Chains A and B, each alone.
Chain A
């Protein structure tokens, strides 16, 4: 039995310890927004946050995790599709087939946490997800737009306080 905290909820999981987090999410918890594509930690379709950091969940055995870690999946990124990245993605119609996009968005969200205003170089260095449809240029624009949305939200908050 493994105790985890996923999207803020404590969860008990009864699986073999070698089971990758990806398959715990998808098959034990029904959180299928996190995708399987390569299974070897390269493509980034399975990206989730562990304590705010972007992690390829297909290579993380569940036995290495514990309940003190905050695991966030695409389903837990925002309450109502209103994360600045989701807003920007919608405004720019970023996804094509959409299969890589949950991972793409989670990678971008982790980047924005450490670098609220990333440069193109930052984006190049940290977004290493594969997208075969080729959404990269809109992803880049989307990250810059999300940074602006976040800044505006911050200002509004400060203004209101």
Chain B
């Protein structure tokens, strides 16, 4: 059955990069940017060589398969993983697969055919596996149907492999490229069956990433690298004090400096210099006299914040319950032995290698933005709001990110600013690039919390009750207040403490009370790779270690006692214990620490081997990690993510802290906000243990077990419990 030829506006959408390249030659692999009316000068050639079979699959006459990816690639490999899933069902030739980003504007215009663009919460694959596979399966069906109609044979008699459709009995065969145009005119099937996991050929295979080549020779264009014809560059400075405003600036002092075109107020708290080059803009900005209205938070400091957090550890005001069973208070009173500890986890900056940036061009009819974003739809909303135009007059062209880690997802302040600047220079594209210093001063930081834990042991040394009181900032209250529970609770604060779900506790605790005293500050906080599991896993896993020690029990055995009803968590814990040789001798001075958790839907565990010398210098020798994500789409990329998550998690543990003084962040660059280096990187052994039947996340889960495993190893090595972070502030000398 044929449908009407798709309409012209949809036709426009089918343009492929190779064709449009002539209209707008940047030498970039940036197909979506090329679709921009601005970039193509309005003269967009229509390709007849590319056929959109459906929203996910476009096929060229030469059998090239273009798979559309709505989620963003920021290093985590989602682009390749999602392409594998579409290609699995499509039965296409993997060597001819390429990808492109649809724009959020196109998504709106096409009734959200690509659904969510959100690339956070380790959701890229687990949040879209069903409909992207379906996209591939539907396209396969239509392509086979097209061939069958051409040959006038029943499609059930046709088979397909590697983009080649065969009708065995007549000996005929054709390729996807040859029938794609016809397939594009067919109605999609109403019902389609997905393959059973046992039949997967491409899912589960450690194929190479699709985005590597251009990352090896400088050709990969990041947002910071983008060049548009006639583009100007902007450098920006916002009031360093949170909540402060821009009072005045003296543009005359810099307007004669080389290259300077304009000095602008941006929003109510920032000033930007626009110049021919970014270096000129930045140089002039450094010389610009600026006065700030310091606002109400100028007396805020790390000490004043700590005071509020300390009060929250015992107060009954604004306290929310995240999980409870039995009677923790009673159990603790009746305990043979109680153990108590208070931990503190600081503010941290995402510190993506590529500083925040966005490029915008604004006219009274249209606003276009190019930017690295974890969520094109939120970027589009920010652009529309700042532009003063209808959202249908705006679009966002996504670019691979030079790191995201949550900073470029929920909040697009950098897009808002870029549009606010471009709006003051109608028709001229302006690239806004933050300095590292601006990036450090204006993050949406990992929230600060303290946590007091009290545990009780019975006469057998078993855990009889546990009371956990978290005191600190809520991410949702800061950036997504509409997601707070009806009673005002931020349930994300309880990651790792929930009774069930993606972030359920890995232990059965007989009498449990987990609470959060919400203590918000003027420091903006946001989602940060791992979100709240990073500190919650430290609190849980280090305290469990403390309890095991108090009970004079082996840390592995003590955990196992509590995990009888948590077989999947137990399986990963047992795996790391076995592989690391838990309970066996180590090299002299080397000690082990364990951690296990369930988070972002995956079961993860780690065993760290560490030593601490007499001067207190820590060496992390080896980490054995296990992860059960249910299904493993690309095992070698999972290994890369596990290794990488340890760098991110251990950087946070060793060095990550933003301190507050006079209402502003004190750290300004990598000299006082260091990151783990090659010389500190432990050997990492990764076990990927997909047990099937569910879809768990990959990018974040293992970050949670790195820090507590190392901390428990440090205790084994030194007898010291470090409960305040980062470790660089701690005295680790044994004693």
Contact = CB atoms under 8 A, between A and B. Distances in A.
Central interface residue in B75, B352, B651, B683, by most chain A CB within 10 Å: B75
Interface residues of A, number: 59
Q: Would you call the interface of chain A mostly helix, strand, loop, or mixed?
A: loop
Contact of A125 (B74, B645, B679): B679
A133 B636 contact: no
A22 B605 CA distance: 42
Interface of A: 16, 18-20, 23, 26-28, 30-40, 42-43, 45, 73-75, 77-78, 81, 86, 89-90, 93-102, 105, 123-125, 127-140
A89 B216 contact: yes
B88 interface: no
Nearest to B641: A96
Nearest to B77: A96
B427 interface: no
Q: Which has the most chain A C-beta neighbours within 10 Å: B211, B218, B402?
A: B218
Interface in B188-222: 208-209, 211-222
Nearest to B28: A32
A100 to B, nearest CB: 5
A132 B405 contact: yes
| Residue with the greatest number of chain A CB neighbours at <10 A, chosen from B402, B405, B675 | B402
B466 to A, nearest CB: 33
Contacts of B278: 23, 27
- Of B213, B219, B224, B353, most buried by chain A (CB within 10 Å of CB) is B353
Contacts of B435: 39
Given A101-B215, A130-B677, 17 more contacts: A16-B258, A27-B278, A34-B218, A35-B402, A42-B669, A75-B218, A93-B636, A93-B637, A96-B77, A97-B400, A98-B220, A125-B679, A130-B670, A132-B352, A133-B75, A135-B640, A136-B643
B69 to A, nearest CB: 15
Contacts of B233: 27
Contacts of B696: none
Nearest to B645: A134
The 5 closest A-B pairs by CB, nearest first: A33-B218, A134-B647, A99-B402, A97-B75, A96-B75
A38 B218 contact: no
Size class of the B contact interface (CB-based, 8 Å): 35 or more
B224 A96 contact: no
20 contacts: A35-B402, A37-B354, A38-B670, A93-B208, A98-B75, A98-B214, A100-B353, A101-B216, A124-B678, A127-B678, A128-B678, A128-B679, A129-B678, A130-B353, A130-B670, A131-B353, A133-B353, A134-B643, A134-B646, A134-B647
B277 interface: yes
Give the one of B279, B401, B404, B669 with max A CB within 10 A.
B279
B669 A133 contact: no
B354 A99 contact: yes
Interface in B507-530: none
Contacts of B436: 37-40
Contact of B218 (A23, A73, A125): A73
Contacts of B669: 38-40, 42
B649 to A, nearest CB: 9
A31 B217 CA distance: 11
B431 to A, nearest CB: 11
Nearest to A139: B678
A107 to B, nearest CB: 10
Q: Which of B224, B225, B671, B684 has the most CB of A within 10 A?
A: B225
A137 B277 contact: no
A121 to B, nearest CB: 9
Contacts of B211: 98
Interface in B341-368: 351-355
A128 B211 CA distance: 25
A33 B218 CA distance: 4
B23 interface: no
Centre residue among A33, A40, A99, A100 by max chain B CB count within 10 A: A99
Contacts, number: 174
Nearest to A124: B679
A158 B178 CA distance: 49
Given A23-B277, A35-B354, A75-B218, A98 B648 contact: no
A78 B75 contact: no
B532 interface: no
Nearest to A128: B677
Of A31, A39, A123, chain B has the most CB atoms within 10 Å of the CB of A39
Contacts of A77: 217
Contacts of B212: 89-90, 93-95, 98
B327 to A, nearest CB: 44
B644 interface: yes
Nearest to A137: B643
Contacts of B401: 97
Interface in B599-655: 636-637, 640, 643-648, 651
A149 B209 CA distance: 21
A96 B644 contact: yes
B491 interface: no
A98 B678 contact: no
A25 B42 CA distance: 31
Interface in B209-243: 209, 211-222, 224-225, 227, 233
A140 B354 contact: no
Contact of A36 (B355, B670, B677): B355
A131 B402 CA distance: 10
B406 to A, nearest CB: 12
Nearest to A81: B217
Interface in B648-698: 648, 651, 669-671, 675-679, 681, 683-684
A31 B218 contact: yes
Given A75-B217, A96-B75, A99-B402, A132 B277 contact: no
B675 A132 contact: yes
Contact of B209 (A36, A73, A93): A93
B76 interface: yes
Contact of A81 (B216, B222, B352, B677): B216
Contacts of A34: 218
A125 B75 CA distance: 26
A54 to B, nearest CB: 14
Contacts of B456: none
Given A130-B670, A136-B647, A138-B643, A102 B227 contact: no
Nearest to A97: B75
Contact of A132 (B218, B403, B636, B684): B403
Contact of B224 (A36, A97, A136, A138): A36
B218 A40 contact: no
A34 B225 CA distance: 9
Contacts of A40: 436, 669-671
Contacts of A96: 75-77, 640, 644
Nearest to A33: B218
Nearest to A107: B678
Contact of B647 (A95, A97, A132): A132
Interface string B67-106: 0000000111100000000000000000000000000000
A18 B403 CA distance: 30
Interface string B413-447: 00000000000000000000101100000000000
Nearest to B647: A134
A133 to B, nearest CB: 4
Contacts of A74: 217-218
A42 B219 contact: no
Given A23-B277, A97-B403, A128-B677, A30 B227 contact: yes
B99 to A, nearest CB: 15
Contact of B644 (A36, A105, A135): A135
A101 to B, nearest CB: 5
A105 B277 CA distance: 27
Contacts of B675: 130, 132
Contact of A20 (B279, B402, B651, B679): B279
A133 B209 contact: no
